[in-house]
Structure formats: structure tokens, C-alpha cells
Amino acid sequence: MLNGEYGEVIRKCMEILVKIGDIYNADKLIPIESAQIAGVSYLTVGDAIFSFFRMLTKEPVKVKVPTWLNPAGMDMRQWKYMNINEQFANKQLKIINTYKKLGIETTLSCTPYLIGKIPKQGSHLAWSESSAIAMANSYFGAKTNREGGPSSLAAAITGLTANYGLHIDENRNPIVYVKVESELNTYSDFALLGYWYGEKFHGKIPLFSGINDFSVIPAKYLSSAIAASGSVALYHVEGKTPESKEVSKQYVEESIVFDDIERKEVIEKLQTRLKEIELVVIGCPHVGIEELDLILSYCKDKELKKGTKLWVFMARALMERKEVAERIRKLAEKNIRIFSDTCMVVSPAIRENFTKIATNSAKAYFYLSMVENMEVVFLSLKEILEQICK
Ligand code: F3S
């Protein structure tokens, strides 16, 4: 491939992988089971992506493994409602169509695991969205580094990745032991734990103990928060995550407790006072059915207060499932809007049209609070709904 026997495009892709492998002293290339490509939203990739695409589409190459796309900058059906302009929409469409030509499934979601794309334990992947990476490594026990958009695409096209970092078992051992003494009752509690840890121990793999209930949705909140505040790609939860029994504690350098004092500190940081909320955004990462049910149960006999909007983001493939349709109808009756294919962070719709935002996602808080003139508050779903419903 590197010699160009399979064409120029594959040669270039292989060159990317070999360069990365050289930087990290990889001993070989290994086959991957799937790839997940970030770098889809025109907001984040800009026009630079088109020159990369020109190179990739010179020859008719296709991805070699199942490959999925991260959210784009707009809902493909409701972009006008989102106030997206036509120029943006056309460029976004062009990006998605190019990925499609390469044989990539246009799932446009950061939660492939909620729409049946579940990575096998022990399998090697090349995923590039940070929360999905932390989920794949931690919750599912698969193996992926934090790939960039071009490197995951190069891996998808060749079916290979360089063997370094989290592909190697001995690099997956915990460095920090965290005793969780604060009760984790809500999804937001998991987000708080992740955010707190990530800020304190940037990049270090933790082993959490004391977490009793751990399923895919709480894991999603923990994964996205820990990846956003600390670029952590792998964590273990004692007795819960697949590798927690196998990993060695001999590399642990530090032990720490997460109790109610730590929890309060991180809450105070994230819960800046907001007198008025214009828009509530839920679904970072994209929501599962359980979260829709929670919203419906809180809002049961209530209406949204006038002037407040509630937008929920979820994978289109989940939204289109039969069992979800009735829930969506009930949410629509309450003026709660569901969007697919995009999210509050990678779409310009939020940053260009709103300045006072509430979210139950620590990751969305992390990125939106960096946007100029944006005031963001992090609250639990229940707290948010109590404020905006009557
Ligand atoms: Fe997903 Fe967007 Fe959050 S890609 S993890 S919803 S920032």
C-alpha cells in the first residue's frame, strides 16, 4: 500500500498511518473492526476539508471496515427551522455526500452504541469522537486511541491502524485509584464525577470503586465529561467494566476520594447563576430512550414556560424506531423539539441564535461556555425541568 501498488489515495492514507506509527514507536499495523469519523460539521472543519476530499476522491476508494459518521452541523431535515443558512447547508451536504461516496454510513451520531453499532470486547477500532472513544474503551472493553478525523479515515480506508497507546494491554492499567463515596443518583452525578476527575488528572487512566449502578446511559455521561475536561480515553469501574478484573493495580500512583465536598466544589464551578434561560439543550452525547422517558415523566402534567425552548438531540436511527415514535409525539405536544444528525456544540444554530443556555451535559457546558458571549449553566435534568416547566 505504501509503495502505491493500490493507487495514490491508499498510498497517502498508509503514509498517514506510518507517520503516526513512527511518532509513537509502533511495532506494526493491526486490523481494525470499525471506524468512527469526527470532523463532519462544516462549522468545525471549514473549507479546509474540501482539499483533503479532493485528494481522497481522485480514485474510487471505499472504506474497508464498517465506518460511521459523527454529528454534522445541522439536522438534515429541520435545518431551516434551526436558522441555518443555505450556503452552510450546501457545504454540509457536500461533506456528507463525499463521506457517503467513500462507503461510510451517514449515522451522524456520537452514540453508535445506542443504534446497534456495539464494539466487541478486545477488538481494535479507530474512533475519533472523544465520548464515543471513552465508551468504547471503558464500557465495552474495545481498544482505540483518540484518533483525529484524518487518521480515523485513513484507518477506515486501509482497514488498519498503528499498534501503540491503548491498543497495547499494558498501557491500559489504571494510574489513579478513585474511591467514590458520594452517592451517584442521577446522570448528572456521573457527569460531575467525570468532569471533576478529568480536570484534576488530565489524561491519566482511573480505576473507580464504589459505583454500584452502572449502565450504558450513566456511562455515557461519565465518558463524555471525563473526555471533555481531561482528554481521558479509558477508565475502569471496579466490578462493572469488562477489564476492571484484569487490570493490574501495580501502576497506581495516587489514591483519592470523591466525596460530597468534592462534588459540591465541582457543582459550584458549573452552576453559574443564570436569571433567565432561553434554551435548554439535552443530548450531549445523543440521548437514549431512557432519557426521553425521564423528560416525559418530569413534564407529565406540565407545560414549558413561555419563552423557553427545550431542544433534544438524538441519533436519527434511534428516533425512527417504532417504540420511539409515540414518545416523540408526546414530547412534541409539549413543544419539546427533537433534532437528529447534529448537536448543540457542532451546530452554529445554538451559538448564533442564543446566549443563555442550560444543559445537563458537562461536556456541552465545557464547550459552550468557551463561546464568546454565551452564558451556560449546568444542572441536572430534574433541576432544569423544574425551572422551565409549570
Ligand atoms: Fe456528541 Fe456533540 Fe456532545 S458530538 S458528545 S453531542 S458535543
pLDDT in tens, 129-144: 999 999 999 999 999 9
Residue 307 above 90 pLDDT?
Answer: no
pTM for the full predicted model: 0.97
Confidence of residue 275 (pLDDT cuts 50, 70, 90): confident
Give, using CA atoms, the residue closest to atom 5 of ligand 1.
Answer: 285
Closest ligand 1 atom to residue 129 Cα is 4
Q: How far is the CA of 132 from the centre of ligand 1 (A)?
A: 9
Q: Is 110 in the pocket of ligand 1 (CB under 6 A)?
A: yes
User: Is 388:307 a contact under the CB 8 Å cutoff?
Assistant: no
Beta-bridged to residue 160, according to DSSP, are 31
User: Is 75:341 a contact under the CB 8 Å cutoff?
Assistant: yes
Residue 273 above 80 pLDDT?
Answer: no
Q: Is 108 in the pocket of ligand 1 (CB under 6 A)?
A: no
The one-letter amino acid code at 272 reads T
Q: Is 247 in the pocket of ligand 1 (CB under 6 A)?
A: no
Q: How far is the CA of 345 from the centre of ligand 1 (A)?
A: 6
Grid cell listed for 61 = 476508494
Q: Is 343 in the pocket of ligand 1 (CB under 6 A)?
A: yes
pLDDT in tens, 48-86: 999 999 999 999 999 999 999 999 999 999 999 999 999
Closest CA to 125 of 154, 164, 165, 152: 152
Chain Cα centroid distance, residue 61 = 27
DSSP state of 389: B
Q: Which residues contact 131 (CB under 8 A, 6 or more apart)?
A: 110, 220, 223, 224, 227, 228, 285, 363
Q: Is 285 in the pocket of ligand 1 (CB under 6 A)?
A: yes
Confidence of residue 16 (pLDDT cuts 50, 70, 90): very high
Helices (H), 84-206: 86-101, 130-134, 149-158, 187-200
Q: Is 346 in the pocket of ligand 1 (CB under 6 A)?
A: yes
Angle ∠(191,352,347) on CA atoms, nearest 5: 55
Q: Regarding beta strands 160-162 and 29-31, do their DSSP bridges make them parallel or antiparallel, or are they unpaired?
A: antiparallel
Can you say whether the dihedral through the CA atoms of 346, 285, 283, 176 is positive or negative?
A: negative
- Strand segments, DSSP code E, in 170-308 are 176-180, 206-209, 236-237, 254-258, 279-282
Closest ligand 1 atom to residue 361 Cα is 3
Closest ligand 1 atom to residue 313 Cα is 6
Q: Is 9 in the pocket of ligand 1 (CB under 6 A)?
A: no
Closest ligand 1 atom to residue 111 Cα is 1
Distances (CA, A) of 189 to 192, 205, 223, 231, 267: 5, 19, 12, 19, 10
